[in-house]
Amino acid sequence: MIERVLLSLVSISLWASLLSAQTTVLFLGNSYTAANDLPNTFRQLALSLGEEVTVSASTPGGYTLEQHATYAPSLSLIDAQPWDFVVMQEQSQLGALPVDVTNTELGATQLLAELEENYECTYPVFYMTWGRQNGDPDNCPAFPFMCTYDGMQQGLRNNYVALANWNDAYTAPVGVAWKQVRDTHPLINLYAADGSHPSVEGTYLAACVFYCTIFQESCVDAAFNSSLPPDTAAILRSIASATVLDEPETWNLDVPNGTDAFLDGFSSGPDYITLIHNGQGTHLWTCSNGQSFTTATVTFTFDTSGVYTVVHTYTDPCGNTATANLTFTIVVTVGVVEQDAGSRYQVRAGPPGIVEVHGVQGVATLNLFDAQGRMLSNERINSSEAQVPCPTGLLFWTLTDERGTRLRGKVLVH
């Protein structure tokens, strides 16, 4: 009986090990990704090299990254499990155009936020596609570089590399490998009949690039050739491997999955600040007043006004660590009344966005602060009635006259 129990435990442990060894990859794209079933081609290639891969995909025709960011099936797939990698492919033409005339960057940012919320350890991978066989006549008049394959391909390379750099993501440089095949083996036709979508050869090349990008290993020895002649498949595997592995820094493969320690939320009161970070990992907050915390949301309290530094060290579930140094100017306002008693001066709310000052004889200085202690206004008052423009909300003020008398209070401005 004991042997049977031990055997069962060993079997469970082995099964858990096998499950954890599987790599999960989600593809978000369009017909370029769907053509010839790229996700499954990649899965079979990886399997032939001893890698167990689970794939899934959302590939509506012509879809953009921005559309995926609000597309319920794509969002449901993102939330379905903790993905190891999520591949993102922009619409083929938009990916080459300058980012300031498209919503590519916005869509990417929205998707990355969804990935981060679902599982911090997901690696985003941007799928660099290829220039159309004879350029893009639709965008040629407005963007002359799009008139040729080479110009369009350079635009794709520039944009995808930039997206990866901005977002601590990988670039899968399919387009660069595509160009190498065109330049050195022109008899291998990577295009379908429309001169845009991939042929079986093109899809196989993309699968090879994805294997090398995700596993950071050569795929030269893969036994899976798809439906291609072995010699053709071998050429494509060789070019894909060299393209990715000869320049890992270019494709951001040396950069760990992005994490940061900056705030996700912030609030404050007259003698405290509350700082929020939504990370699922471990936290260490230390303040220059000696307080420290290890929770995701923390509240520091202060007895005196001053400039304080908070250091937040965050380690995400994948083991990446980041540190943020935060500085706050605190004006402790506990017990501050609307107006000092017996004052001959009056500071009160006036018309919308205005603070009124009454009763100044000679010259005085009015300082306005927000609830975080940041100075909003420093005004010289030289009349008995003055109006000072200011933000709306609860403001704290000090008024110093020419004799050095200093008053303070608070005012709610509408």
* Domains of the chain, CATH where assigned: 20-245 (3.40.50.1110), 265-330 (2.60.40.10), 346-413 (2.60.40.1220)
The residue count for the chain = 414
Q: Quote the CA–CA distance of 391 and 370 in Å, as a whole number.
A: 9
Task: Give the model confidence (pLDDT) of 236-252 as tens digits.
Answer: 999 999 999 999 999 99
Strands 385-389, 282-287: pairing is unpaired
Largest distance between two CA atoms of the chain? 98
The number of beta carbons lying within 10 Å of the beta carbon of residue 265 is 10
Q: In what order do the strands lie in the sheet with 385-389?
A: 346-349, 354-358, 385-389
pLDDT of residue 3 exceeding 60: no
- Per DSSP, the three-state class of 7 is helix
Q: Which of 143-152, 168-177, 371-380 has the lowest mean pLDDT?
A: 371-380
pLDDT of residue 413 exceeding 80: yes
Higher pLDDT, 281 or 240: 240
Task: Give the model confidence (pLDDT) of 380-396 as tens digits.
Answer: 898 888 999 998 888 88
Q: Given 3-state DSSP classes, what are the helix, strand and coil percentages for the chain, each rounded to the nearest 5?
A: 30, 30, 40
Q: Which of 10-14, 140-144, 398-402 has the lowest mean pLDDT?
A: 10-14
Task: Give the model confidence (pLDDT) of 166-193 as tens digits.
Answer: 998 999 999 999 999 999 999 999 999 9
Task: Give the model confidence (pLDDT) of 40-87 as tens digits.
Answer: 999 999 999 999 999 999 999 999 999 999 999 999 999 999 999 999
pLDDT, residue 243, reads: 98
Q: Which of 220-224, 238-242, 317-321 has the lowest mean pLDDT?
A: 317-321
Q: Which of 3-17, 228-242, 363-377 has the lowest mean pLDDT?
A: 3-17
pLDDT, residue 372, reads: 63
pLDDT of residue 271 exceeding 70: yes
- What percent of the chain stands above pLDDT 70? 91
Higher pLDDT, 350 or 124: 124
Q: Quote the CA–CA distance of 113 and 79 in Å, as a whole number.
A: 12
pLDDT, residue 304, reads: 83
Cα Rg of the chain (Å, integer): 30
pLDDT of residue 286 exceeding 80: yes
Q: Write the CA distances from 243 to 22, 200, 239, integer angstroms.
A: 25, 19, 6
Give the ranges where 167-286 is alpha helix by DSSP (H).
Answer: 174-184, 200-215, 230-245
413 contacts 349 by C-beta, under 8 angstroms: yes
Token pair listed for 218: 């050569």
Q: Write the CA distances from 171 to 86, 117, 255, 332, integer angstroms.
A: 12, 21, 11, 49
Q: Which of 113-122, 140-149, 388-397 has the lowest mean pLDDT?
A: 388-397
**Which of the four pLDDT bands, split at 50, 70 and 90, describes residue 12?**
very low
Name the average pLDDT for the chain: 88
Q: Quote the CA–CA distance of 153 and 133 in Å, as a whole number.
A: 10
How far is C-alpha 155 from the chain's CA centre? 22
**Which of the four pLDDT bands, split at 50, 70 and 90, describes residue 335?**
very low
Q: Which of 14-18, 62-66, 118-122, 379-383 has the lowest mean pLDDT?
A: 14-18
Question: For 319-324, what is the mean pLDDT?
Answer: 85
Q: Exposed (0-12), middle (13-18) or buried (19+): which is 310, by Cβ within 10 Å?
A: buried
pLDDT, residue 9, reads: 34
Question: For 294-322, what is the mean pLDDT?
Answer: 88
pLDDT, residue 102, reads: 96
The string of DSSP codes covering 60-111 is -TT--HHHHTT-HHHHHHHHHS--SEEEE---TTGGGS-GGGSSHHHHHHHH
Q: Quote the CA–CA distance of 178 and 205 in Å, as a whole number.
A: 8
pLDDT of residue 358 exceeding 50: yes
pLDDT, residue 5, reads: 33
pLDDT, residue 258, reads: 64
pLDDT, residue 108, reads: 96
pLDDT of residue 6 exceeding 70: no
pLDDT, residue 343, reads: 63
Q: Quote the CA–CA distance of 233 and 129 in Å, as a whole number.
A: 19
